[in-house]
Structure 1
Amino acid sequence: MASLRSPSLPLLASLALTFILAVGPVTSTNAEDEQVAVGRVEPADPNDKEVQKAVKFAVKTYNDMNNDLYISRPIRVMSASQQVVAGKNFYLKIELGRTTCSKSQSDLSDCPFYEQPDQQMRVICNFQIYSVSWENKMSVTNFNCPRA
């Protein structure tokens, strides 16, 4: 029979395990879990499917909000990073160029850039895109296109 003054070995073992789990660092053996840390902004691959979806959304928003008669499309993604929150924030720096396609055209998939120097317009924009993929929602939370 165990004494009240000296706790049993199983009780001590369970208390020790509880303490270790509560205080010790959480580690994962799942490689995917180690790739993205929650809350930390990390580099993202510009060719990643989710990043490309965010780029497309950012460019569409840019074209919808500017007063140019012609659409712009990305020349290149200069940088991309991501942050896991209650969804994902994408931070994108995109160089955009004006195309020869007007906004009223229906097929804009292969619009060439202007070649005449007086018609060329290039701009570098910074976008913050918030995505909740499981709800199929995306929004621009911030963007700016500073003029050089």
Structure 2
Amino acid sequence: MFALFSILVFASSGRVLAATAGRLMPGQPHAVPANSTEVLAAARFAVFELNRVSPEEQFEIVNITSAKIQLVAGINYILEVQLGRTTCTLGKPCDLTSSKKLQCNFVVTEIPWKDSRELTKKKCSLHDD
């Protein structure tokens, strides 16, 4: 029953993750490719939210080091992302300007049938090369 529900959820959201839905157990995180469209969108959303609350320091994605999804009452994207500091203004792409980097753990919760996305966890620390 849950597998059918999962397929319907993914199908209704237009996500390509439906192919893996049969292998997912409810609540169990499952590794997914870090370069998938859905993971990139979730990571960009998380960084946008991080930058929105801290306009004096802006960051951009350097590398997504780990990506997992978890089926709950929606989809959790569990991400480990390396960020680099920029001098750009919010929402405008630009070059990295310093060696300051952050290693962040994000959880982005998406509820496709409600067209809802929220950054539910963010934890960042300075990253040494």
| TM-score bracket for the superposition, by shorter chain length | 0.7 to 0.9
Partner residue of 1:49 out of 16, 20, 37? 37
Partner of 2:14: none
Residue 38 of structure 1: CA displacement?
2.1
Partner of 1:92: 79
Instruction: Report the TM-score, using the length of structure 1 for normalisation.
Output: 0.66
Spell out, residue by residue over 1:13-69, the C-alpha distance to the aligned partner (whole angstroms, 9 max, x if none): xxxxxxxxxxxxx999x9644233222111011122221111111000110122524
Gaps of 5+ in 2: 5-17
Amino acid at match of 1:135: K
Partner of 2:61: 74
Q: How many residue pairs end up in the alignment? A: 113
Partner residue of 1:108 out of 70, 88, 92? 92
State the structure with more CA Rg. 1
Partner of 2:25: 37
Q: 1:31 to 1:61 in 2, by over 3 A?
A: closer
Amino acid at match of 1:108: K
Moved over 4 A (4+): none
Percentage of identical aligned residues: 27
Partner of 1:132: 111
Structure having the higher strand fraction is 2
Instruction: Report the TM-score, using the length of structure 2 for normalisation.
Output: 0.75
Give distance in 1, aligned partners of 2:111 and 2:79. Answer: 17
Computed over aligned residues only, the root mean square deviation of the Cα atoms, in angstroms, reads: 2.5
